[in-house]
A and B are shown apart, each in its own frame.
Chain A
């Protein structure tokens, strides 16, 4: 570009700066930077972006920020990225106001550094823009933590993390702020979970089965979550309790499965072969680390004698090389490798000595004392070599090994704080865990105390979607009021995933019994149809009768065949749960609340229905006046009773009132769309219909009765399970006498419900 070409551009820049007295002086500097960052025609585009930014009315601060950021951005990622940044700032400013645009420009340099390439950078801009559209107020705090967030998640993870944050906060702006300011612990914990990292939940069951099959131990596995800042990096065990990192950072797919397997096989080897804890006594941290590594090697060798295949599992993780730095940690890692990998060559005198000492007797003749003796010798040697060892940063290598805490008996840890501290990671996390547990209990208690009238706080104010309006029957005027009630669908809150497993575990016997019952019902007993006109075999009785008739000179009956049919099931069910406030109560003599029992019953019933292969849906309802009949879709007909549905079920909370008529109408509406021969609506409720805007006790009962009748007209069967021992009269009024089952002892609901279902649908 010649001087004659650049002159107008320079003038244009000068024009831009004319309105910005604080920048006027730096024109030369800016121009030099621009010349470097924006070669050729791109400088024109950059100036265009600057002009647009001026015109966008975002204030001079934005322009200044852009002028300062763009050249360095261009230098790192190329001019296109810098121009895209300007354009994005304009669009994001349009969504959030100037503050958002300024924040973006302020964060751009950091993002460019972390991301390091233009395509990722433009992706980042797009993500921020989308988020600005979703929740403009989070852009500021989000961008303040650009480095942390991008460093942990990358662009792809950023969006899903941020969207989860926006969702988790519901409509609550304050919670959103806390999340994006990384004050909310969930925000940090989710940061710690990379996008592709495999979560231990997914493999927990097969790992437990693996350990059972290998060593016949039934371990108690506890996934341990971390935060962004300290992620538990190693497994840990304490007695038969095994703590496992929720994720191993950066490990996904088959790699992570192999790592978990290696880690658990290693712990299992400890559980099997480590005879007792080593007393910590006055051992130095370095000696503790070395003795731990020796013990690791000993148990692994013993395990490999029994399961030679374990070598293949563990070896790939030993990647340390003899060329590594001769720090103590490096040497201990090499020691670990030298003791498991016979092909590993390491001429370091210390490693050779360690190998020699370890090989002095066959591995099965090693015991705690011999290991300890070797450890002391090696520890002294290493001490005399004056290699640096920092117990604070020491982590067991390789990755699959545990943190060794389970090996040591701390006794009076105060006597040896240094060594105890090295093993401390586990200690701290365990106490945290205990505290968490305590906090949960406290929560539970306060919830129970809150009992009846739960105030609606801002946090709970979710927004529902109106899905339908239904009439309501007023028995006084003998007429329906059209469009009187509004059904709103709410996104169900998500609960923990373990709930369903826990319920299954608690009712193991019942579940097995149910499965057996169901298998019998499902095979749908073959039925012999005799005296058929057609069929696959002769009905001998009919044949004989026909022969007799013929000989008597009568016309024989031609129906001499028989056939076997199996009757299939053709039925869909909608289970409608009452989650009004009263379900939070505990009934007399029951240890769990009505809602908890409903939930248990639902899990068992869902198990039954899923095994039968009947399509079923689960819904829950409560109401807050006629304009707000809340309807929660826990599970749809078409989807399996999978983790999402289970978490929704677990997340159900009691609240509000029981306007049952509208809920029944809506459930009926959904069922009407099913194309099965039979359609069954199963309602579980604990009390009389009621709502805040109704004083007349009879009104809602009559309306519900009307709703049930209208369903019957549409060919939908309705059945009610009542949990209120005194509720006979109104429930019978609503559903009809034969369509109500009163359960007097609520504890029996979980076992009664599936049995009832089978009876109803047999």
Chain B
């Protein structure tokens, strides 16, 4: 099976915040299914890319959505001239080929979909293909990783208890200011001092979480703002485009954020 297209050849930048790399390596060694928790844009996806590169495994990412069915994961029959032909889904591909399968935003998928991963996540490590009457035993290198954003799951969208308890979890948050500034400076290619100002602004916006904002500015939005600045856009304008306008439509909060940025910018 050729999973070459899923291999990550160059090192994705990742700045460890704690001992998450060692933890994940240990979990991988035990082939333990893992859950990455944390708010949006804090580096979960980058982390798993980095780990896949570090462990030398191909990475198959599936962005889950509410219309996703089990066959979108497992595979399906397609029609051809002769009749039907089976086509492996991304999960099956990973199970057969020994890749890391990363189900991004798993809560978005319907609950009946997520149960297909159950047999893979206990000591059976098998994937039954109901439609083909086949049971695939997972490749020894296969690992299942899901991401889970506790912030915006609603009462209706939560993982089943039986699903949650099959995973070990690593919690991600926005890194400490100094580290975050380092990340922003590296990713956006801006001087450290500029990045620090962006991070200070983000911290201020995060204070409004629950007071008008669902989430404060994420590390990702800071990097976007930084990239704009690297191309000559002013700090205030870059923040407006990358940070304020995307996160809120509420004119009051927008105004408060812009005023906060203006106060932070000075001059």
Contacts and interface: CB of A to CB of B under 8 A. Distances in A.
A309 B264 CA distance: 5
A214 B264 CA distance: 9
A412 B255 CA distance: 43
Contacts of B205: 213
A458 interface: no
B252 A205 contact: yes
Nearest to A205: B252
A212 B264 CA distance: 14
A304 B253 CA distance: 22
Interface stretch (B2-10, B74-82, B218-226): B74-82
Contacts of B67: 526, 564
Contacts of A544: 77, 84
B265 A212 contact: no
B211 A209 contact: yes
A261 B251 CA distance: 15
A517 B266 CA distance: 43
Nearest to B252: A206
Contacts of A526: 66-67
Contacts of B156: 516-517, 520
B216 to A, nearest CB: 9
Interface string A189-224: 000000000000001011111101110101000000
B54 interface: no
Contacts of B251: 206
Given A261-B259, A538-B79, A564-B67, A308 B265 contact: yes
Interface string B78-99: 1100011000000000000000
A265 B253 CA distance: 16
B262 interface: yes
Contact of B79 (A218, A312, A543): A543
A427 interface: no
Given A209-B212, A544-B77, A310 B263 contact: yes
Contacts of B267: 308-309, 312
B208 A213 contact: yes
Nearest to A546: B79
Contacts of A513: 155
A209 B251 CA distance: 11
A540 B83 contact: no
B207 A216 contact: yes
B255 A206 contact: yes
Q: Which of A203, A210, A214, A311 has the most CB of B within 10 A?
A: A210
B204 interface: yes
B253 A307 contact: no
A206 B256 contact: yes
A540 B79 contact: yes
A203 B76 CA distance: 57
B75 to A, nearest CB: 11
B66 A517 contact: no
A488 to B, nearest CB: 39
Interface residues of B, number: 33
A312 B236 CA distance: 14
B154 A214 contact: no
Contacts of B260: 210, 213-214
A721 B157 CA distance: 30
A543 B84 contact: yes
A205 B255 CA distance: 10
B257 interface: yes
Contacts of A309: 261-267
Contacts of A312: 262, 266-267
A311 B266 contact: yes
Contacts, number: 95
A697 B257 CA distance: 61
B264 A307 contact: yes
Contacts of A209: 208, 211-212, 252-253, 256-257
Contacts of B211: 208-209, 212, 218
A348 interface: no
Contact of A213 (B76, B155, B256): B256
Contacts of A517: 154-156
A345 interface: no
A210 B261 CA distance: 10
Contacts of A454: none
A564 B66 CA distance: 12
A503 interface: no
Given A212-B207, A265-B263, A206 B79 contact: no
A313 interface: yes
Nearest to A265: B263
A216 B264 CA distance: 14
Contacts of A304: 266
A497 interface: no
Nearest to B262: A309
A65 interface: no
A277 B212 CA distance: 33
A735 to B, nearest CB: 30
A210 B208 CA distance: 9
Contacts of A543: 79, 84
A114 interface: no
A309 B235 CA distance: 12
A519 interface: yes
Interface in A499-513: 513
Given A309-B264, A519-B154, A212 B84 contact: no
Contacts of A205: 212, 252
A244 to B, nearest CB: 16
Contacts of A14: none
Nearest to B201: A213
Interface in B39-53: none
Nearest to B152: A516
A193 B265 CA distance: 35
B149 to A, nearest CB: 14
Contacts of B257: 209, 213
B208 A212 contact: yes
Contacts of A307: 263-264, 266
Interface in A372-392: none
Contacts of A538: 79
Given A212-B207, A516-B154, A547 B253 contact: no
Contacts of B212: 205, 209
Interface string B178-208: 0000000000000000000000000011011
30 contacts: A206-B252, A206-B259, A208-B211, A209-B211, A209-B256, A209-B257, A212-B207, A212-B208, A212-B211, A213-B204, A213-B208, A213-B256, A214-B204, A216-B204, A261-B259, A265-B263, A307-B264, A309-B261, A309-B262, A309-B263, A309-B265, A516-B155, A523-B66, A526-B67, A538-B79, A540-B76, A543-B79, A544-B77, A547-B83, A564-B67
Report the 5 A-B pairs with minimum CB-CB distance, sorted nearest first.
A308-B266, A516-B154, A209-B256, A206-B252, A309-B263
Given A212-B211, A213-B256, A214-B260, 17 more contacts: A206-B259, A208-B256, A209-B208, A209-B211, A212-B207, A213-B204, A213-B208, A214-B263, A261-B259, A307-B264, A307-B266, A308-B264, A309-B264, A313-B262, A520-B156, A543-B84, A544-B77
Interface of A: 203, 205-210, 212-214, 216, 218, 257, 261, 265, 304, 307-313, 513, 516-517, 519-520, 523, 526, 538, 540, 543-544, 547, 564
Interface of B: 66-67, 76-79, 83-84, 154-157, 204-205, 207-208, 211-212, 251-253, 255-257, 259-267
